Amino acid sequence: MARNVFLAIDLGAESGRVIAGLWNGKTLQIEEVHRFQNGPVHLADSLRWDILRIWGEIQNGLTLAGRKYGKSITSIGADTWGVDFVLMDAKDEMLGHPFHYRDARTNGMMEKAFRRVSRSEIFAQTGLQFMQLNSLFQLLAARETSPGL
């Protein structure tokens, strides 16, 4: 019986991996294709993601999966941290190295945000739990520390 291979890129706070889900029409088997260390790097006085190395590791994992599963690969999906981001310009170039969600630049940003917009209004719009690592507070920190971006 033919099988479909569904690839997943899973980026966690300490490791990343490329996983293959092998579906034969009745059962799903999971195989780890590639695993790599992941975590913040210190850059000046900040914590950042080593995004170029992470991208290289993802490419390595996809290359290994391509060699192993070839045309059986049906799709590729990615699961990431969900709060961090990379600012890009109009030419899709990175505007700096992305910050790690544990970087201290978000200290005090929740209180600054609440002075501008109430907690209840933010919750009504987002439905998210309040944590200083949320993208909203990271964006406010970016606006204060790098207004040109």
Share of the chain above pLDDT 90, in %: 87
Confidence of residue 148 (pLDDT cuts 50, 70, 90): confident
Q: What pLDDT is recorded for position 2?
A: 63
Shared domain check, 70 and 35:
yes
Mean pLDDT of the chain: 94
- Averaged over 44-58, what is the pLDDT? 95
pLDDT one-digit tens code per residue, 56-86: 999 999 999 999 999 999 999 999 878 999 9
- Is residue 1 predicted with pLDDT exceeding 70? no
Q: Which residues contact 96 (CB under 8 A, 6 or more apart)?
A: 87, 146, 149
Q: Are residues 70 and 22 in the same domain?
A: yes
Instruction: Pick 29 or 13 by higher pLDDT.
Output: 29
Co-location of 123 and 70 in the same domain: no
R_g of the chain computed on alpha carbons: 19
Residue 137 clears pLDDT 60, i.e. is over it: yes
Structural domain containing residue 49: 4-79
pLDDT beyond 90 at 147: no
- Shared-domain flag, residues 70 and 112: no
What domain count does the chain have?
A: 2
11 with 65, same domain: the answer is yes
Question: Tokens at residue 29, please?
Answer: 């088997």
User: Residue 82: its pLDDT value, please?
Assistant: 81
